[in-house]
Amino acid sequence: MASKVIQAIYTDDDLLLQAVKQVREARYRIGEIYTPFPVHGLDKAMGLAPTRLAITAFIYGLVGLSVAIAMMNFIMIEDWPMDIGGKPSFSFLQNMPSFVPIMFELTVFFAAHLMVFTFFMRSKLWPFKTAENPDVRTTDDHFLMEVEVANHNTEDLTDFLFNTGASEIKLIDNK
C-alpha cells in the first residue's frame, strides 16, 4: 500500500512552530518533522506525549547506587576488611560517610551510560544504519514537515501549507 506525504520546507523555526499549530488546527496529520537543532515547544505543538526517559534515568541511577552499595559492602566489609586510619570495618553504616563519593559516582556512571544505550535503542540509532533524512538541508538550516495526504485534496493541502509560510513543497510517494 502506497501512502503519499507532502514535504513542506521552512526556513525559520518560529515559522515552523506557528505552521505546526495551524496544521494541527486544520486537522491534518503530521507524520514527522526534521530540524537541524531542537526547537523548544515543538513537541507540545505536535501533541506528542511526554517522554518517560527521566523515569528510566532514575531507575538506572538506583541500579548504580545498589551496585555501589553491594560492591563496597562485599569488598570493604565482608571479603577483605581493612583498618584504614584507625577506622573500624565492622559495619557498612559506620563507614558509609567515606563511601558516599563512590556511591555518587557509580549512580551517575550507571545512569549516564545506560541512558545512552536506551536513547540509541529508542531512537533506533545503531552503527551502520542508513540515514533517514529526506532532505540534506535539514541538517544545516532548513526545517521539514511531512504531512500525510490520506483522503485530503492535494492541491488544497499544498495551498494551505504555502499559506503557513512554507518556502518549498514536494509530494512524495512512500512505498
For residue 2, the model assigns a pLDDT of 47
How many residues does the structure list for the chain? 175
Check whether residue 43 and residue 91 sit in a common domain: no
> Which residues sit opposite 148 in a β-bridge?
5
| 130 occurs within a structural domain | no
Does residue 148 contact residue 5 with C-beta atoms inside 8 Å? yes
For residue 175, the model assigns a pLDDT of 59
Give the side-chain half-sphere CA count within 13 A for 44. 2
Check whether residue 107 and residue 142 sit in a common domain: no
pTM for this model (two decimals):
0.70
Check whether residue 118 and residue 78 sit in a common domain: yes
Check whether residue 69 and residue 94 sit in a common domain: yes
| 85 occurs within a structural domain | yes
Check whether residue 68 and residue 45 sit in a common domain: no
For residue 11, the model assigns a pLDDT of 92
| 128 occurs within a structural domain | no
For residue 56, the model assigns a pLDDT of 95
Check whether residue 59 and residue 111 sit in a common domain: yes
Number of structural domains found in the chain: 2
Check whether residue 43 and residue 96 sit in a common domain: no
Check whether residue 90 and residue 111 sit in a common domain: yes
Check whether residue 58 and residue 108 sit in a common domain: yes
How many angstroms separate the Cα of 128 from the Cα of each of 119, 125, 148?
16, 9, 29
Looking at the chain, the whole-number percentage of residues with pLDDT higher than 70 is 95
For residue 122, the model assigns a pLDDT of 86
Check whether residue 22 and residue 57 sit in a common domain: no
Taking each helix axis from N to C end, the angle separating 154-163 and 13-25, rounded to the nearest 10 degrees, works out to 140
Check whether residue 26 and residue 77 sit in a common domain: no
What domain range is 79 assigned to? Answer: 53-122
Residue ranges of the chain whose pLDDT lies below 50: 1-2
For residue 91, the model assigns a pLDDT of 77
The secondary structure of residue 4, as a DSSP letter, is: E
